[in-house]
A and B are shown apart, each in its own frame.
Chain A
Amino acid sequence: MEHQTETQKKVKTSEFPDPFEQARIERGYGDIDDQNDPVTMLLRLKDVRKTAHNWKTFISGATPGRIVVPSEVAIRDIRQIPFEVDPPEHKDYRNLVEPWFKRPLEEEYTAKMTKIIEELVDEVIAKDDIEVVSDFSLKLQSRCLTLLLNIPYEEAETWIGWGVHVFRSEESSTDADKANILFDYLDEQIDRAAENPSDDLYSLLLSSEVNGKKMTKEEVKGVMILTFAGGRDTVINAVTNSLAYFAEHPKSLERLRQEPEIVGKAVEELVRYFSPLTHMGRVVTEDTKVCEHAIKNDSRVSMCWASANRDSAAFENPNEVVLDRKINPHVAFGFSHHNCLGATHARQILKVLINTLANKVGSIEIKNYKENIEEWGEFNRKVGFDNITMNIKGK
């Protein structure tokens, strides 16, 4: 769908339909097959929240890679930390990394992020048409990641070269060769930091103790894989989709310029509406039931954030972007113990991006695009764009 067809013209490019509505109302779940390890997708907000909270029946500390959908069991055996560890051990890892991942709230950090994003926006304004995913969002995500890791800015060039996903490629949603590029890279970086400690995240982890034991290189790698994989395509989609939204809602951007105090609410609403991560799985440890539906021991469920975020039991006009939505109990960053570690960084990226666009951009025009549609059994979900060309003009 490189060119817009008649039907596409009627639906706005920045509109993201809710494919789960009927199943959510009628059944509350959907069944999907994932590499012969089926998954029951839970679709209602309350069920999703309860499941996320009940870490004893729905565990994260399963075979590494199994709770991710599509499963990554075939491409990694390293445990992502703290994500694939359950309480009580989970808490010690989480406590260790949490302060580091809250640094985006510091003034100095925000100032550096603002500089990175302003520079990039200026860069794309100066150009004619740009392909936003690779020329804007990927660069933005990679450059901002240098702040989160506290390493030199130039390192972003390496990651930009990897493309939009660290595990997925055009050919496969779980690409082992691609995953190995990241794993080898991390081994190198961890060895380097072990020899030459600095004030980066690798060094902090290497010098840390958890549960009375020094972190091993393997554990450090587990944290780093999570940091790289978790915030990659999610941030890229959130940024790209937000630009598409502002292209088609110029008044919203103007409003955000005039009322900067609502930017925080706008960020929450955009992540609710776009839900950059569709769902996340858990492995079930006993025969149980969710919404009257029997779920077998050792099978998998997933908490469908994208569906929960459109649940009309909690959201008025769930399919509309209400920029200053005041009560917005969304789960786009997950819920309970395992909620998104990178959420502070992601929120700050979106805040700074919106402020920068509001101050610098005059108009955004979408030229053409190819939607990224995820297929989950009976559900086809638009999650973003494989590519989208825009013309961004300054004020």
Chain B
Amino acid sequence: MAKITFITKDKEEITVEGTSGSVMELAVKNNVKGIDGDCGGVCSCATCHVQVDAGHTDKTGVASEIESDMLELDDDANEFSRLCCQLQVTEAMDGVVLNVVK
């Protein structure tokens, strides 16, 4: 079981728990504002953009090349940016804090 905290644009903090699937799916299931997941998680829409809270990046690892290519063209992207459909919910993610970008 991993606890994942989303902080939305209007500073609402939502902590949810999950065991499997992608972080995007977990967010959509829990109606986290700003995570749409339009493409269903195949790295095509960038509507699942989050920024990993500094200090938690070791939990999430780094983006793949295809994911980076997508993020490169997002005006709000920075070094902490990830597409959360590319993050799997695992024990290793427990406690991670993600800032929703939109």
A residues at B contact (CB < 8 Å): 46, 49-50, 53, 264-265, 267-268, 314, 325-331, 333, 335-336, 339, 343-344, 347
B92 contacts partner chain A, Cβ-Cβ < 8 Å = no
Q: Which of A46, A49, A50, A268 contacts B39 (CB 8 A)?
A: A268
Tell me whether B40 and A327 are in contact (CB under 8 A). Answer: no
B19 contacts partner chain A, Cβ-Cβ < 8 Å = no
30 A-B pairs within 8 Å (CB atoms) are namely: A46-B69, A49-B69, A49-B73, A264-B41, A268-B39, A268-B40, A268-B42, A268-B44, A325-B42, A327-B42, A327-B43, A327-B64, A327-B66, A328-B39, A328-B42, A328-B43, A328-B44, A329-B42, A329-B43, A329-B44, A329-B69, A329-B70, A330-B42, A330-B44, A333-B45, A336-B73, A339-B45, A343-B38, A344-B38, A347-B38
Give the residue among A46, A49, A314, A329 with the most B Cβ atoms within 10 A. A329
Q: Which of A265, A331, A343 contacts B42 (CB 8 A)?
A: A265
* Nearest-neighbor residue (CB-CB) of B39 within chain A: A268
CB distance from A300 to the nearest CB of B (A): 21
A138 to B39, CA, bound (A): 25
A267 to B45, CA, bound (A): 14
Tell me whether B66 and A329 are in contact (CB under 8 A). Answer: yes
Q: Which residues of B contact A333 (CB under 8 A)?
A: 45
Q: Which residues of B contact A46 (CB under 8 A)?
A: 69
> A53 with B73: in contact, given A327-B66, A344-B38 (CB under 8 Å)?
yes
Total A-B pairs, Cβ < 8 A: 42
A50 to B70, CA, bound (A): 10
Give the residue among B39, B66, B73 with the most A Cβ atoms within 10 A. B39
> A326 with B42: in contact, given A49-B73, A336-B73 (CB under 8 Å)?
yes
CB distance from A153 to the nearest CB of B (A): 27
CB distance from A260 to the nearest CB of B (A): 13
A268 to B37, CA, bound (A): 13
* Nearest-neighbor residue (CB-CB) of A49 within chain B: B73
Q: Which residues of B contact A329 (CB under 8 A)?
A: 42-44, 66, 69-70
CB distance from B68 to the nearest CB of A (A): 11
* Nearest-neighbor residue (CB-CB) of A351 within chain B: B40
CB distance from B40 to the nearest CB of A (A): 4
Tell me whether B40 and A264 are in contact (CB under 8 A). Answer: yes
* Nearest-neighbor residue (CB-CB) of B83 within chain A: A329
Q: Which residues of A contact B39 (CB under 8 A)?
A: 268, 328
* Nearest-neighbor residue (CB-CB) of B47 within chain A: A339
A268 to B39, CA, bound (A): 7
Q: Which residues of B contact A331 (CB under 8 A)?
A: 44
Q: Which residues of A contact B73 (CB under 8 A)?
A: 49-50, 53, 335-336
A267 to B41, CA, bound (A): 12
Q: Which residues of A contact B70 (CB under 8 A)?
A: 329
Q: Which residues of A contact B42 (CB under 8 A)?
A: 265, 268, 325-330
A238 to B33, CA, bound (A): 31
A50 to B66, CA, bound (A): 14
Q: Which of B38, B40, B45, B66 contacts A265 (CB 8 A)?
A: B40
Q: Which residues of B contact A344 (CB under 8 A)?
A: 38
* Nearest-neighbor residue (CB-CB) of A328 within chain B: B42
CB distance from A31 to the nearest CB of B (A): 25
A326 to B70, CA, bound (A): 15
A304 to B33, CA, bound (A): 33
A326 to B44, CA, bound (A): 10
A383 to B39, CA, bound (A): 22
CB distance from B66 to the nearest CB of A (A): 5
A312 to B42, CA, bound (A): 17
CB distance from A373 to the nearest CB of B (A): 27
Give 13 new A-B contacts, CB below 8 A, not counting A267-B40, A339-B45: A46-B69, A50-B73, A53-B73, A265-B42, A268-B42, A314-B69, A327-B64, A328-B43, A329-B42, A330-B42, A330-B44, A335-B73, A336-B73
Chain B 39-81 residues near chain A, CB threshold 8 A: 39-45, 64, 66, 69-70, 73
* Nearest-neighbor residue (CB-CB) of A332 within chain B: B44
A267 to B44, CA, bound (A): 12
Q: Which residues of B contact A267 (CB under 8 A)?
A: 40
A-B pairs with lowest CB-CB distance, top 3: A264-B40, A328-B42, A53-B73
Give the residue among B40, B43, B45, B64 with the most A Cβ atoms within 10 A. B40
* Nearest-neighbor residue (CB-CB) of B40 within chain A: A264
A333 to B69, CA, bound (A): 17
* Nearest-neighbor residue (CB-CB) of B28 within chain A: A105
